[in-house]
C-alpha cells in the first residue's frame, strides 16, 4: 500500500542524501527524548499500531553508539585478561531506546519502535506509545487487543 514510503527511506539511507543529513543535524540539537507531532516513517508506524488519534504518542529518541567501556581493574590481574575493550552488550539498541522511553513516560505502553537514522555518534529510533487509560484508547476494541497482546 505505502511501499513508496519505505522505498524512499531506503533510497535516502543508501545514497546518504542531503535531506537526511540536514534532518540529523536538526535532531542532534533536540533533546535526547523528544515527543514529535507525527511519525517520520508512517508506513512503519502504521504496521506497529499507530493511529492519528488522541492517546497515541510518537517519541523520537537518540541513543549513543559504540562499544561498552569497562573500568580497568586496579590489581590482581595480568594484562592479557584485563577485559576492558571488545565487550558487547546483550540487548539491542532498539530495546535500550524502548526501555528509556518507557522510564520517561511510565503511564504509557510501548506499542513498538523502529529505526530512523544513525551517524557516527548516535542512533535515532521512533517509539509508538499508547495511553491505556485514555478513553479514546480504552473504547477502541482493536487498541485494547494490542494492549493485551503487549501486556503478556
Q: Tens of pLDDT along 93-113?
A: 999 999 999 999 999 999 999
Q: How many domains does the chain have?
A: 1
Helix (H, G, I), strand (E, B) or coil at 141: helix
What's CA 65's distance to the chain center, in Å? 13
Residue 118 burial (CB count, 10 A): 15
Domain residue limits at 72: 3-151
DSSP secondary structure letters along 26-72: HHHHS-SEEEESS-SSHHHHHHHT--SSTTEEEEEEEEE-S-B--PP
Helix (H, G, I), strand (E, B) or coil at 131: coil
Q: Which residue has the cell 546483550?
A: 90
Residue 4 has pLDDT above 90, yes or no: no
CA gap 63, 83 in Å, rounded: 24
CATH code of the domain in which 65 resides: 3.40.1120.10
pTM of the predicted protein model: 0.82
Q: Tens of pLDDT along 30-88?
A: 999 999 999 988 889 998 889 999 999 999 999 998 777 777 777 776 777 677 777 77
Amino acid at each position: 500500500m505505502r511501499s513508496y514510503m519505505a522505498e524512499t527511506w531506503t533510497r535516502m539511507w543508501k545514497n546518504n542524501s542531503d535531506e537526511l543529513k540536514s534532518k540529523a543535524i536538526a535532531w542532534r540539537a533536540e533533546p535526547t527524548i523528544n515527543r514529535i507531532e507525527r511519525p517520520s516513517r508512517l508506513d512503519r508506524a502504521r504496521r506497529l499500531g499507530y493511529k492519528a488519534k488522541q492517546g497515541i504518542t510518537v517519541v523520537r529518541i537518540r541513543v549513543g553508539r559504540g562499544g561498552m567501556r569497562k573500568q580497568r581493574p586496579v590489581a590482581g590481574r595480568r594484562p592479557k585478561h584485563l577485559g576492558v575493550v571488545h565487550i558487547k552488550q546483550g540487548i539491542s539498541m532498539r530495546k535500550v531506546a524502548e526501555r528509556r522511553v518507557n522510564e520517561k513516560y511510565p503511564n504509557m505502553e510501548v506499542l513498538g519502535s523502529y529505526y530512523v537514522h544513525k551517524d557516527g555518534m548516535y542512533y535515532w529510533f521512533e517509539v509508538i506509545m499508547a495511553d491505556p487509560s485514555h478513553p479514546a484508547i480504552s473504547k477502541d476494541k482493536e487498541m485494547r487487543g494490542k494492549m493485551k497482546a503487549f501486556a503478556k
